[in-house]
Amino acid sequence: MSYQSFEDLEVWQRSRTLVREIYQQTGAYKDWSLRDQMRRAAVSIASNISEGAERNGSAEFQHFIGIAKGSAAELRTQVYLSMDLDLIANTEGQKIVDETKVLGAKLEALRRSLVRRPSPNRNA
């Protein structure tokens, strides 16, 4: 996979949009604890993608992509809970849930693209 900067990565661009959506949807939350946790999880996705991309190797990048994927799953759970508690409308919540699923799949595809293929065995 080739890119000049993390800003070129679709997963980073999508995660940045997701952060804005989470901030907008949670602006009126009276439960500051859940609101702050959701915001931290959303920010963590974008932050870990960028941090991993700037590290010195694909193994480190893979590690940070895994953290970003975990944060997407964490956020998805928090959105489900917010819908259960009637803090977010089901239609809006489902859009976010769907986006976290797409992001998770794209992050996994990116992680797999970074896995180095074993070098051929020259003695065979």
pLDDT tens digit sequence for 44-76: 999 999 999 998 888 999 999 999 999 999 999
Residue 12 to residues 45, 70, 107, 119, 120, Cα–Cα distance (Å): 8, 15, 9, 30, 33
Answer yes or no: is pLDDT of 123 > 50.
no
Q: What is the pLDDT of residue 1?
A: 57
pLDDT tens digit sequence for 92-118: 999 999 999 999 999 999 999 988 644
Domain-wise residue ranges, the chain: 6-114
Contact (CB, 8 A) for 111 and 65: yes
- Distance CA(39)–CA(14), nearest Å, equals 15
Averaged pLDDT of the chain? 91
Residue 46 Cα to chain centre, angstroms: 6
Q: State the fold for domain 6-114.
A: de novo design (two linked rop proteins) (1.20.1440)
